[in-house]
Amino acid sequence: MFSMSLDVKKVSEIVGEIKNLLEHEFANVSIEGEITNLSLSSSGHWYFTLSDKDSSLSAALFKMDALRNPLMKTIKDGAKVIVVGDINVYPKRGTFQVIVKRIVPVGVGDLKEQFEKLKRKLAAEGLFDMERKRAIPQMPKRVAIITAQRGAALQDFINIYKRRSIWMDLLVVPTLVQGDDAPRAIRASLHNVIKYSLEAEPAKKIDLIVLARGGGSLEDLWAFNDEGLAYDIFNSPIPIISAIGHEVDFSISDFVADLRSETPSAAAEVITHQQTMIKDRMISLKSRLKSVMTIRMGRFEARLKRAHPNAILNLLLSRVATLQRRLSRVDIQKRLHELTNLNDFYLNLDDNLQRMQQLLKEKIKDLRFTIDRSHDVLKALNPKNVLERGYGYLETEKGKVVGSAAEFDKIPKAIPMSLHFFDGKRKVKSDEA
């Protein structure tokens, strides 16, 4: 019987803990072994067993990582390799394997050390010194590019060259850029270009050499780490641009060359930069010249239209028509009747003036009679005229006339009032109570 106090775990819990432990502790590990049971799935994944004399370990190299390791196509069963990857646990089976990110044959893994050793040696000999580098011509007339004939690097370079260059001639020198024979082939191509340029007439001499190759692993680019090639580049009488791999890739030729470009495309842009600036400047000046000429031509065209015989004739005809209209207004023949009746007009004007004056006198006389009659009526109705006959009238402070005894009785006692006579007025008060 099991004790209930034991800490019992499920299988998935144990596998999960192992998975977390292994994957955390064994990340990015390097393992050396012999490949057996190598197979390629239909989806592009590689599966194999990595073994030594005592143990074996399952391994997988997935498609995307396999594309980054082209040497995988050359590896066979029994090959000794070094793999770099992460330990992965497959929970459903409780097994573990290494997920390979990088694989190289044994013996190639020390290439990095060889690279650094050669780099230190050449640097000590002054091959990398900046003061010894030749100036890159800003506008080379003839450029030689040494690269693989059917490589993507050449096509990228040519595409940019065609789009940006104006007058530069391009000499393509096909050569091997990968493999054991590549260093010798590259050096031979470089020697041939230099010899051709030295023997050519001035118009055909090479102004610049470009060493180009697409990206790849350290093994793929190893041809450009050749010591003999480094000395050839250093001693070249023609400036050299090294455009090997991608931006993160470095080779010995990059350090020795007069200029290092991240990619072949970048090298093409550097070479054609000055031409592109001139081209853009010419396009800008062309646009400005076209605009100025359009404006100038418009002005000259307007002046030409104004100076055209038809335009001058129309202007003269317009002036003639204006003068004819003015002449018709002063034509005596057409105004003969008007001018001959001028005296009658003045006589009629004098008669009308006399009649108007007479009518005004009669109108003024009638208005004076009406005013006199109205004056007499107003005079007869004037209250002061009645007061001259001994009459008077009483008025309150508010200007109201007291017209009856009843109104007088309604006035409060001791209220001041005015008694009007024909020759003045006097203040009075009602009887006090």
- Do 41 and 159 belong together in one domain? no
Residue 300 lies in a domain: no
Mean pLDDT score, 119-144:
92
At position 433, the amino acid (one-letter code) is A
Token readout for 46 is 């590689």
Residue 374 to residue 379: CA distance in whole angstroms:
9
Q: How confident is the model at residue 333 (pLDDT cuts 50, 70, 90)?
A: low
Q: How confident is the model at residue 241 (pLDDT cuts 50, 70, 90)?
A: very high
CATH number for the domain harbouring residue 242: 3.40.50.2300
- The pLDDT value recorded for residue 213 is 92
Mean pLDDT score, 215-231:
86
Residue keyed to tokens 């100076």 = 307
Write down the pTM of the prediction: 0.48
How many structural domains is the chain composed of? 4
- Do 158 and 273 belong together in one domain? yes
Mean pLDDT score, 46-75:
87
pLDDT at 30 over 60: yes
Pairing of strands 259-260, 240-244: parallel
Residue 89 lies in a domain: yes
Out of 231, 256, 277, a domain closes at 277
Are 198 and 228 in contact by the 8 Å Cβ rule? The answer is no
Residue 230 to residue 224: CA distance in whole angstroms:
8
Which structural domain, as residue segments, surrounds residue 72? 11-109
Mean pLDDT score, 223-238:
94
Compare 294 and 332 and report the one with higher pLDDT: 294
- Do 101 and 248 belong together in one domain? no
- Do 161 and 262 belong together in one domain? yes
Pairing of strands 424-429, 416-421: antiparallel
CATH number for the domain harbouring residue 38: 2.40.50.140
Give 335-393 pLDDT, tens digit per residue.
Answer: 655 666 666 777 788 888 899 999 999 999 999 999 988 888 887 777 777 777 777 77
- Do 97 and 146 belong together in one domain? no
Cβ burial, residue 133 (10 Å; 0-12/13-18/19+): middle
- The pLDDT value recorded for residue 380 is 73
Mean pLDDT of the chain: 85
Residue 207 lies in a domain: yes
Are 148 and 181 in contact by the 8 Å Cβ rule? The answer is no
Mean pLDDT score, 64-73:
84
Residue 299 lies in a domain: no
- Do 198 and 211 belong together in one domain? yes
- Do 164 and 175 belong together in one domain? yes
pLDDT at 42 over 70: yes
Mean pLDDT score, 299-306:
83
Question: CA 88, 89, 95: angle at the middle one, nearest 5?
Answer: 125
Lowest mean pLDDT among 56-60, 270-274, 409-413: 409-413
- The pLDDT value recorded for residue 327 is 78
Mean pLDDT score, 182-205:
93
Q: How confident is the model at residue 110 (pLDDT cuts 50, 70, 90)?
A: low
Out of 84, 109, 134, a domain closes at 109
- Do 173 and 272 belong together in one domain? yes
The size of the chain, in residues, is 433
Mean pLDDT score, 285-297:
90
Residue 291 lies in a domain: no
Instruction: Compute how many other C-beta atoms are within 10 angstroms of the C-beta atom of residue 192.
Output: 14
- Do 28 and 133 belong together in one domain? no
Q: How confident is the model at residue 433 (pLDDT cuts 50, 70, 90)?
A: very low
Are 196 and 206 in contact by the 8 Å Cβ rule? The answer is yes
